[in-house]
Amino acid sequence: MSDSSTGGVLLPEGGTPTLASDDPFDDFLQALVVGVTGMRGSLVRPRWQPEPPSEPEADTDWCAIGVTGEAPDGGLPVITHVGTEDAGLGADFVQVNDTASILASFYGPGARGNAAALRMGLMVPQNREVLQRANMGLVGMPGEARFIPAIVSLQTQRRVDVPFEIRRPNVIEVAVRNLVAVKITLYPNTLTPQTKTQGATPPPD
């Protein structure tokens, strides 16, 4: 793999940003909804799964949640070089703060109540401490809760969509190594002193 001493493109060390992989963030969102609404953990599910489980019955309250969009904040990223012994040969850490758009869809006879519990619960400062401990923050809850009927198992179910936004850091490590030596070439002074021109008038005293 290339590093700053060899030139070429620098790939992220470890392959992916710290929070860019879907599974850890999906798990975080699932725990957030469970904690704020009091719903059972098995009934709050990632919106997209490689092997989707069977959908609950029409009389069961459940939630599907996932990221529907992501946009970086304006401005340049923060780049920090770490050259301590723990960083080995040294590395740059590049951090960009992204705003993730989240959609929580509540189903079942209690969909409206659970949606309201999430919307209002996220307004409570103590409930947002879990975000702060993870170095994240609630940006806001844009738009309105949308009541959208859903067809599940050939039956019409209540569905209420709640959008909200979370700001989170994405960090990558790149192999920008410590500067351990510098090659310097010194060139002699090739300028010669200016000589007096023949016949020139000397300056006055």
How long is the chain?
A: 205
Spell out the residues 6+ positions from residue 50 whose beta carbon is closer than 8 angstroms to its own: none
Q: Degrees (nearest 5) of the Cα angle 48, 50, 53? A: 75
Q: Is the pTM of this model over 0.85?
A: no
What is the structure's pLDDT at 183? Answer: 77
Alpha helices by DSSP H, listed for 38-110, are none
Alpha helices by DSSP H, listed for 14-156, are 22-37, 111-121, 129-133
Q: In this structure, how many other beta carbons lie within 10 angstroms of the beta carbon of residue 18? A: 17
Nearest to residue 47, comparing CAs of 182, 159, 193, 184?
Answer: 159
Strands 62-72 and 44-46: parallel
Tell me the two tokens of residue 56.
């609950």
Q: pLDDT below 70 — which residues of the chain?
A: 1-22, 84-88, 152-153, 180, 190-205
Tell me the two tokens of residue 190.
């090739």
Rounded Cα gap, residues 83 and 189, in angstroms: 37
Nearest to residue 63, comparing CAs of 108, 120, 105, 117?
Answer: 105
Task: Please identify, in words, the CATH class of the domain defined by 22-174.
Answer: alpha beta
What is the structure's pLDDT at 20? Answer: 46
Do 69 and 34 form a contact (C-beta atoms < 8 A)? no
What is the SS3 assignment for 184? coil
What is the structure's pLDDT at 105? Answer: 95
Rounded Cα gap, residues 199 and 62, in angstroms: 104
